Amino acid sequence: MMKVDNEKCIGCGQCVKDCFPKDIEIINGKAKINNVACFKCGHCIAVCPKDAISTDEYDMTEVKNYNKDEFSLEADKLLNFIKFRRTIRQFKDKEVEEEKLAKIIEAGRFTQTGSNMQDVSYTVIRKGMEKLKALTFESLKNIGQYMLANLTPETAVYKRYAEMWIDMEKAYKENPKNDKLFFNAPAVIVVTANSEVNGALASSNMELMTNALGLGTFFSGFFVRAAQGNKEIMDFIGLKDGKSIVTCMIIGYPAVKYLRTTPRKKADVNWK
């Protein structure tokens, strides 16, 4: 429940103006939250000039007051940071600290979600990496064999992927260091959500945090394909009812150093 401290409230109406579902009104000079249409977005907590609003559903000690030095970023530096990010497939033989993984998840947790669903979940795999690899390589091999046995003119374009997955599994079986799927990275975070958009938005912020921590990552679409319909993999990561796998972040310390950004296509923009 959202609550107003009437001793602090000055009835300025800032919370009323900023409440999208219109669940707040001013009565006798004080804000009153009806808690009917409210979906706990917290805008009223953030906008109140007197810190008069709280909730008993979340941890209020997480709330931080704004100050420019800690909260502002220069736009050009942020843009350069985004431009400089690279997908990493070379990792050092070095464990990733738990506190850094926790901070990456924090970046996902505080990402916006539609209707404030907060429906994104995270599975962190470190000790279970070998199990995850075995399940994933086996699944991709089986998918590849099925595709090759059932090729049609429409699916022939995927033949190279089928052959690649079979070869990858064979190489891994011969030598576990031949890991062309997880690239011997020490950690994986699987992001799941009810809404794929929410999971994707969280994953994007998580990648930025990964880079800010001096780590590297890439999003494994092959893992997502391997997990589709695979009960063993879904049980292993603890996939909850109603959720789907959105991304798989392979994480570690980069064993490669990039010296510059790369070019991109011109933006496809339609100004009206």
Q: Give me the pLDDT at residue 264, please.
A: 97
pLDDT digits (tens, 9 = 90+) for 149-160: 999 999 999 999
Domain ranges across the chain? 2-62, 73-272
Low-confidence ranges of the chain (pLDDT < 50): none
pLDDT digits (tens, 9 = 90+) for 134-176: 999 999 999 999 999 999 999 999 999 999 999 999 999 999 9
Q: Give me the pLDDT at residue 50, please.
A: 97
Report angle CA 166, 225, 186 to the nearest 5 degrees.
80
Mean pLDDT across the chain, nearest whole number? 97
Architecture of domain 73-272: 3-Layer(aba) Sandwich (3.40)
Domain boundaries 2-62, corresponding CATH code = 3.30.70.20
One-character DSSP codes across 22-83: --EEEETTEEEE-SSS-----HHHHH-TT--EEESSS-GGG-----HHHH---HHHHHHHHH
pLDDT digits (tens, 9 = 90+) for 196-212: 999 999 999 999 999 99
Answer yes or no: same fold for 2-62 and 73-272.
no
